[in-house]
Structure 1
């Protein structure tokens, strides 16, 4: 395989963008993590990305030859009613939230009958070229409101007279993203010692 893909399914577009659903009461939840601790926090709570999931894909060639990334296809492995779990916001109330515009950014609605990636405004679409010395990073925002969706990506590549498809998932498991409408929502105040219903924190 002349190309590799490293998927980070627990990247955050900004400190305020990410939420997770968990089948646990607020009293049983740890404080929200920093982004680098998100994967461990999710695993500890059996949590699921809520409302949207932000993926960072690092695509790199394995040799000196140029590999053309022809496209990414969204594949749905399962679709159910959204999870009836509690919704936890990762942001601390009152903390500023910033986000940058990425040059390889795409969006997909998992509510669609046939979800497909579309470049964010101002971004180019496939194909792109990569090599061992010239990797690319793609950012994907997958949104959903009406379902609990298992999904993965297929990356199509070509290099010279060779071509193929590479499955991109969460270490052998599908990505999972669930709608969160109407779910009890919680936030963790700065200086607080536990989760409280979202919107009840008074800012100084």
Structure 2
């Protein structure tokens, strides 16, 4: 009989243990009892948008103003006046959107739509009307926030979408608001295409929704020249 060395027996024992271990793992995998670590791929950075916009939202025209808390004031000095945090821009205000290409190629602005975030009762306060400005915007629209589904409507002398923009040829869109019964929080969503790419640019007030209120619940103070808001509007 051929002698079996001790080392051979140990190797054979290890081989049998390895085979048994593999068989056990296979059974557990089939039964779903062993979790296999799968490392997710790192997230890919989102492609840079070929279009950017600068948004201004301020009642710079005498058709609008701000509603501020009513503390019984009979007059308020306008020079150096800083509206409180609770102030809300009133119906008739304008959102100015300047859109420009960023990638050295043309971008087509296909459309823009209004997204209402929520509608609240109009606040009771003081309506401080803004002074008048003389600048005439190049393309302007209106939006009726009283509607269940507000939409942008081009003014008669403004051609409607689409528009073409690039780095050297921006567009400026002026949106005049109207609301008669509520305080409405809303955003604009601007759809664009560039070659085979497409996307949507969300336009709001520095990351927060625009807030536009009716003035039906407010007492108006009239602007006396450029110096003082007074309760006597005669």
* Corresponding position of 1:116: 151
- The equivalent position to 1:142 in structure 2, one of 177, 192, 198, is 177
Question: Cα distance 1:195–1:11, how it changes in 2: closer, same or farther (>3 A)?
Answer: closer
Contact 2:78–2:229 (CA<8 Å) still a contact in 1? Answer: no
- The equivalent position to 2:103 in structure 1, one of 38, 63, 66, is 63
**Structure whose alpha-carbon radius of gyration is higher:** 2
Contact 2:50–2:107 (CA<8 Å) still a contact in 1? Answer: yes
Shift of 1:24: 3.9
Shift of 1:66: 0.0
- The equivalent position to 1:81 in structure 2, one of 121, 136, 142, is 121
CA distance in 1 between counterparts of 2:203 and 2:184 reads: 16
Number of matched pairs: 186
* Corresponding position of 1:21: 67
Deviates more, 1:181-190 or 1:151-160: 181-190
Shift of 1:190: 3.5
Question: Cα distance 1:30–1:185, how it changes in 2: closer, same or farther (>3 A)?
Answer: closer
Shift of 1:101: 4.4
Root-mean-square deviation (Å) = 2.3
TM-score after normalising by structure 2: 0.72
Contact 1:26–1:196 (CA<8 Å) still a contact in 2? Answer: no
Shift of 1:32: 3.1
Shift of 1:142: 1.1
Shift of 1:49: 1.0
TM-score after normalising by structure 1: 0.82
What runs of 5+ residues in structure 2 fail to find an aligned partner? 1-48
* Corresponding position of 1:49: 89
CA distance in 2 between counterparts of 1:72 and 1:160 reads: 19
Point out the structure with the larger helix share.
Answer: 2
Query: Can you list the C-alpha shifts for 1:31-56, whole angstroms capped at 9, x where unaligned?
Result: 336xxx8xx934x4531111222011
SS in 2 for 1:181: coil
What runs of 5+ residues in structure 1 fail to find an aligned partner? 92-96
